[in-house]
Amino acid sequence: MILFVTGTGTGIGKTVVAAALASCATGSVAVVKPAQTGVAPGEPADLAEVAVMSGCPDGHEFARYPDPLSPHHAAAISGLPELDLDDVVDRIGALADERDLVLVEGAGGLLVPFTRDGWTLLDLATELGGRIVLVTAAGLGTLSHTAAALQVLRTEDLGDADIVIGSWPREPGLAERCNAADLARRCGVADLLAPAGLGGAVPADAVYAEDFPALARAALAPRLGGTFDSDAFVAQWAPPHVRE
């Protein structure tokens, strides 16, 4: 199986969600970062964080560019080769033949281009199949961003994504609490999500957890290997006008 971990933007928790998925998985797991940007050669990057949090050492980075930009600009500025879509498809496919699960973490959002030709994680998922895990924010703006990403996936016949809130605050404000209800389809937003509700919500301080595997299980829904209950989450956090 292949899971593509993408997001509605950058800096919203994709790497921590990937680590949680790896931690909750059974069988052999490989984690792939096709393009890592903003990190110098030899420095620890996203795959190192995943390994530390999840204990999964089987990481594969196909290209690294030092500038903190989208991969197509970062490759051009550095003068390093761009990633070839067919080669990436072949390499991930080979890993999937030998592992029970391959997690592919994208760069930035769903439609960020990897090359100047413009291929994206969406193209990779279309070529390889598999499921999408869409990491989204908790605060204002997330409903539109999430709905737009889901609409793209449905237009491309990739089905409904599992939606995971990548950084749920310790003390959420009213906006976050209302958004949680909407993202779990509890406030009449009929086309936002799959009927299964939220795929999880990862605490904002998850990276510092003493027992990350236990946190991961609590943060992800059973279909992703955890025990997270979307209905209970909404009941806990939704404001009264949603619960009534």
Q: Give ∠ CA 14-3-149 in degrees, rounded to 5.
A: 60
Which residues are known to be catalytic?
33
233 and 226 in contact (C-beta within 8 Å)? no
Concatenate the DSSP letters of all residues of 189-232 into one string. -TTSS-TT---EEEETTGGG-SSHHHHHHHHB-GGGTS---HHH
- For residue 160, what are its two tokens? 């409904």
How many angstroms separate the CA atoms of 50 and 102, rounded?
A: 13
Half-sphere exposure of 121 (CA within 13 A, CB side): 32
